[in-house]
Amino acid sequence: MAVPRPVLPRLAVTAGEPAGVGPELVVKLAHQALSATLVAIVDRDLLARAAARCGVALVLQDDDGSVDTQPRPGLLRIRHMPLGAPERPGQPDPRHAAYVIATLAEAADGCMARRYDALVTAPLQKSSINDAGIAFRGHTEFFAERTHADVVMMLASPELRVALATTHLPLAAVPAAITTPSLERTLRIVHGDMIAKFGIARPRIAVLGLNPHAGEGGHLGREEKDIIIPLLERLRGEGLDLRGPLPADTAFVPAQRAHYDAVLAMYHDQGLPVLKSEAFDRTVNLTLGLPFIRTSVDHGTALDLAGSGRADPSSLIVAARMAIELLARRDAALR
């Protein structure tokens, strides 16, 4: 008796900024033998033009909601969203802002309605959306508001996972944003998703200090003594395995890494340069706390490369593969 092939998960894919490299990356992603059905939420003609610029043959098929049982490289399902104005590679146009927002809304709503099993996003241009008069801070914040979820940004490579206590804030605004309630919420989300999404039964989380030398006993800042240390001690009492606060300048050395499964950095540029400098093309942006799996590239729109067909799709490919792995791990845990 023949064993039926497993049904492949449906991954929603957004192409991000029309004038950036996103459409070209999606075209190249479609030629990978991934164990998933890819559904691009994009303007059909935009993607066709990107394929032509890349010199890549691509079959575009309107999505009918069905599922596949085997990979189909070179074929991409489309959920057509009209662009409204032609793109000019390398030159973002605020007229495209409403289109970009519409693709993100369809992706999030589709995941919530289970039309898609997970979401993979290409880079967008935040400044172009803001120039159109739309208040927009980034993918992470948009999906949090759309789904009414508390979320945490995490970037992960095969060797390192770094979550952020604050995301896209001016550095001067970071200390005021490090509060006991916000930090507790972040740590609980990271702890919970390390179990639920990564399958680590007892995650070990290293927490960085905000100040140099983790405050040097209060001499270089009091956030550690007044906020971070008391909170870590309380949560340890509940059974969470939390290390720190650790000085950021030594937390990433190999001897330290052996003692944790993830790092919580206090601000964007405290932890991410370490991660990106050693694994730029193998790093994935994850949004923890969402009711669905969302992964993304770890880079921007690369406007200088847009239209050349030379953009490297490695990060988008790794993001798609991680989404598939996380889905498989979640499904196995539910069996």
Residue numbers belonging to the annotated binding site for substrate? 139-140, 276, 285, 294
Q: Is the torsion defined by CA of 158, 159, 165, 166 positive or negative?
A: negative
Please name the residues in contact with 145: beta carbons below 8 A apart, sequence gap of 6 or more.
none
Distances (CA, A) of 166 to 87, 94, 154, 186, 322: 33, 27, 11, 9, 23
3-state secondary structure of 18: coil
d(CA 138, CA 300): 12
3-state secondary structure of 239: coil
For residue 235, give the H/E element and its range: helix 229-237
For the annotated binding site, the residues are 139-140, 168, 213, 268, 276, 285, 294
| Residue 264 backbone dihedrals phi, psi, to 5 degrees | -105, 115
Contact 110, 14 (CB under 8 A): no
Q: Whose CA is closest to 153, among 301, 333, 324, 283?
A: 283
For the annotated binding site for a divalent metal cation, the residues are 168, 213, 268
Q: Is the torsion defined by CA of 27, 31, 32, 37 positive or negative?
A: positive
Other beta carbons within 10 angstroms of residue 229's beta carbon come to: 17
